[in-house]
Structure 1
Amino acid sequence: MSTEQAASLPRAWGPPLGTARLKATPEDFLVEEQTGLCPCGDGEHLWLWVEKRGLNTAQVARALAEAAGIHPRAVSFAGLKDKHALTRQWFSLQSPGRSLPLGVGEGPIPGVRILIARRHHRKLRTGALKGNRFVLTLRDCDADPAAVAQRLYRISTQGVPNYFGHQRFGRGGGNLAQASAWFAGGRPPRDRKLRGLLLSSVRSELFNRVLARRVGEGSWNRLLPGEVAMLDGRGAVFETDPADPALPGRCARLEIHPTGPLAGERGVQPGGEVAALERSVLAAEPLWHQGLARARMEAARRALRLRVVDLAWHWPAPGRLQLSFRLPAGAYATVVVREVLEC
């Protein structure tokens, strides 16, 4: 999916209210990891709370490993963070029985600062992430502040479609093209991480297509017959009972959300109207389905709706809008912005 294709995904709350520039500087896109974890002060793993600017997570991990004199596989992190941003996240470095030449201060390469250095008895595991806090500055904002406030209030109370952002698909949608070539009989990538990335990109694109259909039909934020629902903030899913009178109210209060497919085998599957809708969308890409089946991908579900927590906004200067909010892991700040402004 290219940036242009992502822009064509239907919006839930109407057309953009104006235009703005996002990421004019890395400081305009501040991301702070929310893990709920705190190193205890003792153990064989050195945890570092790192601020990085203009670098991706893998670059920082390699630099930390080199500076510490350890193997790159001894460096762990919970999730990947944007390169074109100012981000703060934890890294852990395994170093039993030895001290490491890393502490609070400037990091091993330009653009990296170590804010906290503390030991812990466990490594930081991939996915050990509750979510992220964002502070975004939008410049050259050409929009009516009253209309923007009204739209943002609606988002704060009713959420936005939980699309995967265009970053998921590589430059110009290249991940999808690579996956299609592989599934059509090409040689699979040797690198295991690249294979996983291509498979995830295909599943993300299929999910976006189902969500786009439901946004277009106005059902992305309500339960349909046969729905598999997800508990907000927990990821647990359950099959809904149409006879349960409490479910529509819980959905309206954003306590539960309708879900869409992360395509694969087995897993919890919807029924009725939802199953028919998803089949009609997914049937358009038989090559991708065959490829996912050969890769033995386990089917999963993802919420169609994204609750935007602690959303606040102000105008620090004319034409400059600042937003702050929290999102769960795996959600994209850009899908919040696109419901308000074209960037």
Structure 2
Amino acid sequence: MNPLDLPCAWGAPPVRGRVRVSPEDFVVREWLGFAADGDGDHWLLTVRKRGANTHWVAKQLGKLAQIHPRDVGFAGLKDRDAVTEQAFTIPVRSAMTGDWAGVSGDGFEVVAAERHRRKLKRGALRGNDFEIVVRDLAGDRAALDGRCKLIAAQGVPNYFGPQRFGNDGANLTRARQWFSGERELHDRFERGFALSAARSAIFNAVAAERVRNGTWNQLQAGDVANLDGSNSVFKVDALDEVLRDRCDRMDIHPTGPLWGRGELVSQGEVASLERRVADAEGSLASGLATTDLDQERRSLRMRLAEFAWALEGPDLRLRFRLSRGVFATAVLHEILEDAFSQVHPESDE
């Protein structure tokens, strides 16, 4: 199955248009959810970048500080084909002894620097704020307002976007070849990308099936529920009105599997659906079961915070906040025709 051949939850997108005509049309601001400590052995840098990916900026900061890139901390990957603001940490012991604020390089600038006690670790953020401009909008503008209101009230499927699968699906192709014995993957980054792509493909397939049967936003007996905005999950052995009401209010969400070793946590018909879909993905599920990745869960539904939209002449401007690990392109998929096809292959959202 094509991991991006995914049904929309709210019907065919009402409009079409062009995304990322310039990097300034896709602005991402990292939301850490905490402030700098004000003292400590690290600099917490706020870096604005344009046309540069996160790993490349980390390497450039490492060169300036004369430290190994692994000593540069950051919480998450951000798009290359965008204007983004995100945090990095640099040890104070580095060769850079002056104020980092104003330091710049090709495609990036340090806009703020404060002392901090800890190196930033991957995942140490709450989410991201997005401001996206869709150019040359065409289609049913009247239906657009209704679609956006629906999304604001009830969310969208939490699909993984094209960035996860690489240019022309190369990450997923490597995973299939690796698991089938056609090739070896010795580079740890290449292996990591392949594993993430394999898990994402199975998740997308399960999410798509739940969209088709109308249960992506409804708890079922045997589901595993996720507490909104957290990694906390719990089994749903039986449904009651309290759980249904919490799901309707988007306080909790049904989840799908991030495949790995061990047994599924879901039960009953939910688990049967997940196994059936995973089996249809061929070597991906069996290959993941032999790795050191345990079975995990991911919410099937994405809730948008602070969602706003406005027509500006021929263009559409969207603003929203998403929790970490979710994809803005999944929001565009419900609004815009061919949204996935417009993602830059080197984006790393």
TM range (shorter): over 0.9
Which one of the candidate residues 210, 226, 229 is aligned to 2:225?
A: 229
Q: AA paired with 1:25?
A: S
TM-score where L is the length of structure 2: 0.93
Structure 2, unaligned runs of 5 or more:
340-349
53, 59, 63: which is aligned to 2:60?
63
Alignment of 1:194-205 (within 5 A): 194-205=190-201
Does the Cα contact within 8 Å between 1:67 and 1:101 map onto a contact in 2? no
Measured after TM superposition, the shift of residue 137 of structure 1 is 0.5
Cα separation, 1, equivalents of 2:55 and 2:20? 21
1:119-150 CA distance string (max 9 Å, x none): 11211111101110000001000133331111
CA offset digits 1:285-325 (Å, max 9, x no partner): 34222211221211100000100111001123x11110000
Q: What residue identity is the alignment partner of 2:170?
A: G
2:328 aligned to which of 320, 333, 340: 333
The aligned counterpart of 1:208 is: 204
Instruction: Provide runs of 4+ in structure 1 moved above 4 Å.
Output: none
SS in 1 for 2:335: coil
Contact preservation (8 Å) 1:48, 1:92: yes
Is the 8 Å Cα contact of residues 267 and 300 (structure 1) preserved in structure 2? no
- For residue 133 of structure 1, the aligned residue among 113, 122, 129 is 129
**Counterpart amino acid of 2:318?**
L
For 1:235 and 1:105, the matched residues in 2 are separated by: 36
Percent identical pairs in the alignment equals 47
Q: Distance in 2 between matches of 1:286 and 1:341?
A: 31
Secondary structure of residue in 1 paired with 2:46: strand
Is the counterpart of residue 26 in structure 1 residue 23 in structure 2?
Answer: yes
The range that moved more, 297-306 or 241-250, is 241-250
- Per the alignment, residue 48 of structure 1 pairs with 45
Local SS of the residue matching 1:63: helix
Give the 3-state SS of the residue equivalent to 2:198 in structure 1.
Answer: helix
Give the alignment's Cα RMSD to 1 decimal.
1.6
SS at match of 2:241: coil
What amino acid maps onto 1:173 in structure 2? Answer: G
Matching residue within 288, 311, 314 for 1:315: 311
Superposed displacement of residue 16, structure 1: 1.3
Question: Structure 1: which 5+ runs fail to align?
Answer: none
- CA displacement, residues 70-111 of structure 1 (integer Å, 9 cap, x when unaligned): 11111010000000000000000123386535622251x222
Distance 1:44-1:212 versus aligned 2 partners, 3 A rule = same
Q: Distance between the aligned counterparts of 1:315 and 1:245, measured in 2?
A: 39
Decide whether the 8 Å contact of 2:29 with 2:84 is kept in 1. yes
In the alignment, the residues of structure 1 paired with residue 208 and residue 26 of structure 2 have an alpha-carbon distance, to the nearest angstrom, of 26
Q: Distance in 1 between matches of 2:94 and 2:27?
A: 36
> Which string of whole-angstrom CA distances, capped at 9 and with x for unpartnered residues, describes residues 153-211 of structure 1?
00000000000001100011111111111111244322212211111110000000001
Moved more, 255-264 or 41-50: 41-50
Match of 2:344 in 1: none
TM, length-normalised to structure 1:
0.94
The answer for the alignment partner of 2:161 in structure 1 is 165
